[in-house]
Structure 1
Amino acid sequence: MKTTTNLKFIAMASIMFLLNFSVFAQNEAERPKYLSVTTMHWNMDKDDFSMDAWKAIEKEYLQKVVSKNQYIISASYYTHLFSPDNSEVLYVQTYPSWEAMEKAAERAEELAKQAWPDETARGKFFKNRDSYMAIYHSDEIYAPIDGAKLIPQDNTKDLVLYVRKTHFTFPEDGSQKEFNEMRAENFAKVLSKNEYIKGYYPNVHAWGSDKTEFIEAFFVDSMCDMEKMFDKNSELIDQAWPGDTGKQRGKKWGKYFTGIHGDAAYTLVAELSK
């Protein structure tokens, strides 16, 4: 991907971080309040590993447990495309409230006992399910914020998820008003007009290891379309803020971020999604 295009887009896309997002006119009342991201890893020592078998196990669990759990709004698996660790598997669940996260775990246990009432059979199923993943995993909780471009609910395609992680600096001379205005303009003039972006979800830290994290999730049809997304964003940015206007704008938002970012891409496993 083109470095100049990416750096330009970092600045524009990373303006949406404060928690007062009423300036957006979108109707997002039904969006979740929290999402959990569990980073797991394939069990690289499993001799009889089968992707089809794993999907069949997870599909059964989805049908019998996750889909019936009223405290979980959505759930999806994402497998590695490019990231520092090719064994990564992300499992993302969303919730209507903080309390729902605790209730979701309790409800999952109840549903599992209903689905597999025989204790031996239940133990065998979960032992097989667990055998596909390494013991180690990590968890983070984020708060979704307004300004999203939602994927159609009837999507059945394995989309590409591009994740950008930037970090806030919380400058004393910053202002809520300034950022709200910039992010509203950015969504209206860039993100909402980019036909290659099938879905866009901005999230801020709620609980975990780094409170400065700003996570943006972009969904596109393919890796090729991800490159086209960057090019289109650059084109739309130049149209919206030509010449020195763009440079002046860059000085306003640059102070809010460290300038360090991380990139990763995953494949949405659509058939395993609620």
Structure 2
Amino acid sequence: MKTTNRFFTAFAAAILLFSTITISAQDEAPKGPQYVVMTTLHWNMDIEDFNKDEWKATEKEYMDKVTKKNEHIMSAGFYLHSITPDNTELVYVQAFPSWNAIDLASKRNGELAREAWADDDARKAFFDKQNAYYTSMHSDEIYATMANAKAVNEVKDGSIVYVRTSHFNFPKDGSNAEFNETFKEYVENVTHKNEYIKGYYPMSHAYGADGREFIEAYFLDSLSDMDKMFDKNGELYNAHWKDEAARKKMDEKGGKYFTGVHGDAVYSVVPELRK
């Protein structure tokens, strides 16, 4: 991985004005991470005799000596392609307590790296080895955390993350209050009650290519639990909104805040590479 990927430099904060309403993230966000940086990397397919265990050992060394000691990074982890359009991709995710912490973490990473590999040649050799696993192509997106998350307590071998990317719509008759109330009601009565969902993290665009993005990351114990999750969601939805009229009203109220277009991706969790 190129060192610039890890030593992420924060962009200047951008204020986005959305037609008549703004989908609010930070106003409702709970204590904890406020921003999430997702770096999409790509494997170097020209490596001969690629050994996944050696890659894990290399990244674990960096995580133990740098990432885990960086007080500005609240959490971090690697997620590998499982069901995505590009089998060469993997995603490195870091969570931060503030916008300023992104820049502070970058500087602290440099300090910790110099402490861990005090010898210039040794440090260069390590980063050359680490960087060799990836191409120079990468992309970064920054998301703001939202309220109603469900914290994952444990990940294990076989755990996956199902990522759903939707797009906000900004109706003239909408409001932050109505969106937040509707979103909270759904999550509390469906997502949080679904035993197959081990963790849930909603996020909205903060800096990146598409200001309409709404990301939902669902942690599941296995790929086979995805169908069970969807079935259970339906059961819980029908249990809370008990008649057709109530369900229709909820669908109309919540649905107007989204374009109806969404994308799906599945990544496998690397339990050894998590802070």
Q: TM-score, normalised by structure 2?
A: 0.88
> Offset of 1:177 from its aligned partner?
2.4
Q: Quickly say closer, same or farther: Cα 1:108–1:20, change in 2 above 3 A.
A: closer
Local SS of the residue matching 2:152 = coil
* Aligned structure 1 segments of 4 or more residues deviating by more than 2 angstroms: 17-22, 154-158
Local SS of the residue matching 1:35 = strand
Residue segments in structure 2 that go unaligned for 5+ positions in a row: 1-22
> Offset of 1:19 from its aligned partner?
2.9
Size of the aligned set, in residue pairs, is 252
Aligned counterparts, 1:172-211, within 5 A: 172-211=172-211
Give the Cα separation in 2 of the matches to 1:207 and 1:239: 38
Give the Cα separation in 2 of the matches to 1:195 and 1:105: 37
Letter in 1 for 2:222: S
Local SS of the residue matching 2:192 = helix
> 2:126 maps to what in 1?
125
Provide the identity percentage.
50
Give the Cα separation in 2 of the matches to 1:221 and 1:155: 7
> Offset of 1:172 from its aligned partner?
1.3
Local SS of the residue matching 2:203 = strand
Residues 8-50 of structure 1, C-alpha deviations (whole Å, 9 max, x = no match): xxxxxxxxx533765x9xxx42x11111000001111111311
Letter in 1 for 2:114: K
Local SS of the residue matching 1:136 = coil
> Offset of 1:245 from its aligned partner?
1.5
1:19 maps onto 2:19 in alignment: no
> 1:33 maps to what in 2?
34
Q: Is the 8 A contact 2:143 2:206 kept in 1?
A: yes
Q: Is the 8 A contact 1:21 1:180 kept in 2?
A: no
Q: Quickly say closer, same or farther: Cα 1:116–1:158, change in 2 above 3 A.
A: farther
Q: Is the 8 A contact 1:202 1:216 kept in 2?
A: yes
Aligned counterparts, 1:134-213, within 5 A: 134-152=135-153, 155-213=155-213
Give the Cα separation in 2 of the matches to 1:125 and 1:20: 38
> 1:217 maps to what in 2?
217
Residue segments in structure 1 that go unaligned for 5+ positions in a row: 1-16
> 1:13 maps to what in 2?
none
Give the Cα separation in 2 of the matches to 1:256 and 1:183: 10
Q: Quickly say closer, same or farther: Cα 1:235–1:40, change in 2 above 3 A.
A: same
Aligned alpha-carbon RMSD (Å) = 1.5
Give the Cα separation in 1 of the matches to 2:210 and 2:75: 24
Give the Cα separation in 2 of the matches to 1:214 and 1:33: 15
> Offset of 1:253 from its aligned partner?
2.2
Letter in 2 for 1:244: A
Aligned counterparts, 1:11-90, within 5 A: 17-19=23-25, 22=28, 28-29=30-31, 31-90=32-91
Q: TM-score, normalised by structure 1?
A: 0.88
Give the Cα separation in 2 of the matches to 1:258 and 1:43: 36
> Offset of 1:192 from its aligned partner?
1.2
